[in-house]
Amino acid sequence: MNLTDIFKSQNNHIQILLILSITIGLIYCLFFPSGKIDGDEFEYNIIAKNLAEHNAFSMAEYPPFDPTNKREPLYPFFLSLIYRVFRGSFFAVMIAQAFIFSLTVIFIYSFISKIADNKSAFYSSIFVTVCPPLANYTSYILSEALFIFLLVVFVYISTMMRAHQTNKLFVASGVMLGLLTLCKAHMLYFFPFLILCIIISKWGKNIILPILLVTVAFLITLAPWLGRNYYLFNTWKITSQRAGMTLNVRAMKASYNGNDYKNAAIYYFSEELGKIIYPDAIIKSEAFMSQFNVVVEGREDEKYWRDYIKEKNFTLREGAIIDLKTQKFTRDGLSEVEIDKILTTEALQKIKAHPFKYLLQTPFELIKMTTFTYLPLLNEEYVSSRINAANKSLVFLIRSIIRLIAYPILALAIYGIYRYRDRWREFLPILFIIIFFNLFYGLTFGYAPYALPLMPFYIMFATMGWFKLRERKNIISVQQNL
Give the CA radius of gyration of the chain: 24
Q: Assign 435 a pLDDT band (cuts: 50, 70, 90).
A: very high
Q: Which pLDDT tens digit goes with each residue over 265-274?
A: 999 998 888 9
For the segment 379-394, the average pLDDT, to the nearest whole number, is: 86
Mean of per-residue pLDDT scores for the chain? 91
pLDDT for 204 equals: 59
How far, in Å, CA of 264 to CA of 287, rounded?
Answer: 13
Residue 109 sits at the vertex; the CA angle it makes with 103 and 111, to the nearest 5 degrees, is 100
Q: Assign 8 a pLDDT band (cuts: 50, 70, 90).
A: low
Per the rule left: phi > 0, alpha: psi between -120 and 50, beta: everything else, 472 is: alpha
How far, in Å, CA of 249 to CA of 197, rounded?
Answer: 32
pLDDT for 393 equals: 83
Are the C-beta atoms of residues 46 and 53 closer than 8 Å to each other? Answer: no
Q: Which pLDDT tens digit goes with each residue over 306-342?
A: 999 998 899 999 999 999 999 999 999 998 889 999 9
pLDDT for 2 equals: 47
- Domain map (residue ranges) of the chain: 10-142, 151-223, 244-368
Say if residue 100's pLDDT is above 90: yes
Say if residue 3's pLDDT is above 70: no
pLDDT for 482 equals: 64
Residue 207 Cα to chain centre, angstroms: 31
- DSSP letter for 228, please: H
Buried b (16+ CB within 10 A) or exposed e, 270-282: bbeebeeebeebb
Residue 47 sits at the vertex; the CA angle it makes with 43 and 48, to the nearest 5 degrees, is 115
Q: Which residue has the higher pLDDT, 200 or 476?
A: 200
Are the C-beta atoms of residues 437 and 445 closer than 8 Å to each other? Answer: no
Say if residue 465's pLDDT is above 80: yes
Say if residue 459's pLDDT is above 70: yes
How far, in Å, CA of 340 to CA of 337, rounded?
Answer: 5
